[in-house]
């Protein structure tokens, strides 16, 4: 699958509750981003069941900010709209492929249970 461009306009269509998305935050002036681009594309070809999307931080600063991007390139992996991985730096091909494969293997039911438990615990804190 080829990569898609993620914008605030297509965010809801790309990051759905029923899919896995790998994001590459980049900018045209960033040399490490340019070097990482072909790696991102190549790994995307081996995972046709995953959406790979690129976010131009110059064109979409709000998206970059919402993901806490402070340097580029940054890779983020989401499943069911939950961020499982978020790391700055260009990953080597094997590392990116490994992280994507690990993301596929995450038990999302357990993740959602943990999130619900943390939210429930958080709701009870501070009440007097």
pLDDT in tens, 21-62: 999 999 999 999 999 999 999 999 999 999 999 999 999 999
- With a pLDDT cut of 90, the percent of the chain lying above it is 84
| 30 Rama sector, left if φ>0, alpha if ψ -120 to 50, beta otherwise | beta
Q: Looking at the predicted structure, is the pLDDT value of residue 127 above 50?
A: no
pLDDT at 18: 87
33 is catalytic: yes
Number of domains in the chain: 1
CATH number at residue 99: 3.40.30.10
From the candidates 23, 30, 75, 90, give the one annotated as an active-site residue.
Answer: 30
pLDDT at 65: 95
What DSSP string runs through 32-83? Answer: HHHHHHHHHHHHHHT-TTSEEEEEETTT-HHHHHHTT--SSSEEEEEETTEE
| 83 — pLDDT class (breaks 50, 70, 90) | very high
- With a pLDDT cut of 70, the percent of the chain lying above it is 94
Domain that holds residue 78: 4-124
From the candidates 33, 69, 76, 99, give the one annotated as an active-site residue.
Answer: 33
30 is catalytic: yes
């Amino acid at each position: 699958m080829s990569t898609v461009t993620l914008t605030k306009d297509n965010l809801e269509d790309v990051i759905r509750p029923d899919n896995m998305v790998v994001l590459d935050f980049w900018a045209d002036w960033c040399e490490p981003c340019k070097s990482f681009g072909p790696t991102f594309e190549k790994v995307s070809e081996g995972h046709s069941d995953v959406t790979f999307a690129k976010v131009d931080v110059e064109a979409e600063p709000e998206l970059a900010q919402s993901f806490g991007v402070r340097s580029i390139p940054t890779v983020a992996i989401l499943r069911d709209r939950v961020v499982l991985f978020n790391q700055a730096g260009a990953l080597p091909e094997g590392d990116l492929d490994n992280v994507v494969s690990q993301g596929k293997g995450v038990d999302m039911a357990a993740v959602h249970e943990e999130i619900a438990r943390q939210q429930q615990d958080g709701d009870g804190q501070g009440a007097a």
